[in-house]
Amino acid sequence: NAGVTQTPKFRVLKTGQSMTLLCAQDMNHEYMYWYRQDPGMGLRLIHYSVGEGTTAKGEVPDGYNVSRLKKQNFLLGLESAAPSQTSVYFCASSDPRDNYYEQYFGPGTRLTVT
């Protein structure tokens, strides 16, 4: 049982490049989330999904897109990276049927945009 995994662990992009971050969970959770964490800050919600085929905006969605084509995967895309998107990105999952209040986090992706 791997829990929540994220790919890649590290990435360096040049301004204007695009990339996709992959999150996968093997707990059959309905809900999935993408957060970003900047130095000295708490995590801020980018987008979330409450089931396969659904997505919704969080607190800081600008510059990001997401897709949830399969229940176990949640993709975060940056179409045209900007230095302001340098951050650590965490994916998380939870399930309304089981300890609905507890989110399980992945190890994070450290992204630098130069």
Q: Shortest Cβ distance from residue 112 to another protein (Å)?
A: 14
Asked if residue 50 binds another protein (CB under 8 A), the reply is yes
Instruction: Spell out the SS3 assignment of the chain.
Output: CCCEEEECCEEEECCCCCEEEEEEECCCCCEEEEEEECCCCCEEEEEEECCCCCCEECCCCCCCEEECCCCCEEEEEECCCCHHHCEEEEEEEEECCECCCCCEECCCEEEEEC
Site map for another protein, 87-106, x if CB under 8 A? -x-x---x-x---xxxxxxx
Residue placing its CB nearer to another protein in the complex, 14 or 39 = 39
Is residue 8 a contact point for another protein (CB under 8 A)?
no
| Contact between 2 and another protein per CB under 8 A | no
27 lines the binding site for another protein (CB under 8 A): no
